[in-house]
């Protein structure tokens, strides 16, 4: 029986579905899929079109609304929204170090997780569509970041289920290997570093001081994790959001206290760093991250820790050399490295599993370029000109390759524009769909 809840400005209904772990074996093992229906008060029985939200990630659960806030402010004017916890996340059957331990050894865990990519997420959504709308019902998609990648897979596998698609910061390169993705990413991250240091020039010395300290004495985080120089550099993930540079600066401001033996890294700083670096609430992000680029027809060798390998082509990110040369120490960005499975307690038990996934060479293709070239589903996409996470050139290349796509390129927002614009980004895309723009 579904549970109905009332929050300020919204009515929510819980839905739980059984879906096959492997859609090629529909009568085999089943897992649970959770989705939260959201509608404006007084409109629960209206014949509203459905808008399915696909969260970023991979491994990100849908947002938990506190009321009619954020992009829901705009969406609920026109739609009944379905917030889908993609398989393995949130209230869907979870995939974490705790639950995966029940599946056996690392090889069995890796085989299990091979079913958690965009193609499986799309097939899950199609089963849900059939159960909620019937086989002839169609709904709209809103794909944020990785959710946009899933949208392209949806358009490749089951466009007949869609009436329109909105994509924010998520037009993936259709034929781009992981290596190509990271070769484009490191220069973007370097530019974000340069922008941060122009904004806060005092942080050049502050970052060098912390990096030099950690090079000699890696710190222990409150959860037992280890803050190495490389882990400290990974705080650069923050630079991809609209206010991330400011938040990083404020974190650095409180890095030091005078302890019994002299200056030491403060508990405030270490707790703040842990909040940014820990994957305890979303381990699939780390475990599956590079696999989202795996397509055997694009690169048959697998991903093989692409971000780590490609990083060697960009020596400016070498912290030890930067310290030796009296240069600014650069932060990294949306990269997953094998050492993370040593420093993060929530990832340590999954180290061998992640290694097997990195070595996997038989990833199925996620995009049907011929079908996308003949696409008839209207697609409206926001491409952020300064996006640190998704390459603008790759996004525009994909927009040209997917028929019936209209693009709005903007530098008003960063990658988190959908979340922080108060509905402004979604409103623009909806008005494009309605022919107002």
pLDDT at 1: 56
Domain positions in the chain are 4-175+367-433, 178-359
Full-prediction pTM beyond 0.85? Answer: yes
Active site residue 400: no
The model's confidence at residue 108, banded by pLDDT at 50, 70 and 90, is very high
Mean pLDDT confidence for 224-241: 98
Active site residue 291: no
Mean pLDDT, the chain, integer: 97
As a whole number of angstroms, the distance between CA 435 and CA 207 comes to: 49
- 204 in Cβ contact with 212 (< 8 Å): no
Strand locations in 302-375, DSSP E?
none
Residues 6+ away with beta carbon under 8 Å from 106:
352, 353, 355, 356
Q: Which CATH superfamily is domain 4-175+367-433 in?
A: Alpha/Beta hydrolase fold, catalytic domain (3.40.50.1820)
144 beta partners? 168
Which is the catalytic residue, given 92, 213, 415, 416?
415
pLDDT over 80 (residue 409): yes
Report pLDDT digits (tens) over 354-378. Answer: 999 999 999 999 999 999 999 999 9
Which is the catalytic residue, given 92, 120, 145, 177?
145
Query: To the nearest 10°, the Cα dihedral for 320, 326, 331, 336?
Result: -20
CA 92 to chain centre: 17
């Amino acid at each position: 029986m579904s549970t109905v809840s009332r929050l300020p400005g919204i009515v929510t209904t819980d839905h739980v579905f059984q879906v096959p772990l492997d859609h090629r074996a529909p009568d085999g093992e089943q897992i649970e899929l959770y989705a939260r229906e959201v509608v404006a008060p007084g409109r629960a029985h209206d014949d509203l079109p459905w808008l399915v939200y696909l969260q970023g990630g991979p491994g990100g659960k849908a947002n938990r609304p506190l009321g009619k806030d954020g992009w829901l402010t705009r969406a609920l004017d026109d739609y009944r929204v379905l917030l889908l916890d993609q398989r393995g996340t949130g209230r869907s059957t979870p995939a974490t170090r705790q639950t995966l331990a029940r599946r056996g050894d690392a090889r069995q865990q890796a085989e299990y997780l091979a079913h958690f990519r965009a193609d499986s997420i799309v097939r899950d959504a199609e089963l849900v569509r059939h159960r909620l709308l019937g086989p002839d019902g169609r709904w709209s998609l809103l794909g944020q970041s990785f959710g946009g990648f899933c949208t392209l897979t949806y358009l490749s596998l089951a466009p007949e289920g869609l009436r329109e698609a909105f994509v924010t910061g998520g037009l993936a390169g259709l034929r781009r290997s992981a290596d190509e993705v990271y070769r484009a990413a490191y220069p973007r991250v370097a530019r974000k570093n340069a922008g941060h240091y122009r904004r806060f020039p005092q942080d050049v010395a502050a970052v060098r001081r912390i990096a030099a300290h950690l090079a000699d004495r890696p710190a222990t985080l409150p959860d037992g994790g280890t803050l190495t120089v490389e882990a400290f550099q990974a705080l650069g993930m923050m630079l991809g959001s609209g206010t991330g540079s400011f938040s990083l600066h404020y974190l650095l401001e409180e890095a030091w206290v005078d302890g019994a033996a002299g200056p030491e890294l403060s508990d405030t700083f270490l707790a703040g760093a842990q909040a940014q670096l820990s994957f305890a609430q979303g381990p699939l992000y780390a475990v599956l991250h590079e696999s989202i680029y795996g397509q055997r027809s694009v690169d048959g060798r697998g991903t093989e820790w692409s971000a780590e390998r490609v990083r060697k082509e960009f020596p400016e990110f070498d912290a030890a050399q930067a310290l030796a040369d009296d240069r600014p120490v650069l932060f990294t960005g949306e990269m997953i490295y094998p050492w993370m499975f040593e420093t993060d307690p929530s990832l340590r038990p999954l180290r061998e599993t992640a290694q097997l996934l990195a070595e996997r060479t038989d990833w199925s293709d996620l995009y049907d370029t011929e079908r996308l070239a003949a696409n008839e589903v209207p697609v409206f996409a926001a491409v952020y000109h300064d996006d640190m996470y998704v390459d603008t050139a790759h996004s525009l290349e994909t927009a040209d390759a997917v028929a019936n796509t209209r693009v709005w390129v903007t530098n008003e927002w960063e990658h988190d524009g959908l979340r922080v614009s108060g509905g402004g980004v979604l409103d623009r895309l909806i008005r494009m769909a309605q022919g107002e723009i």
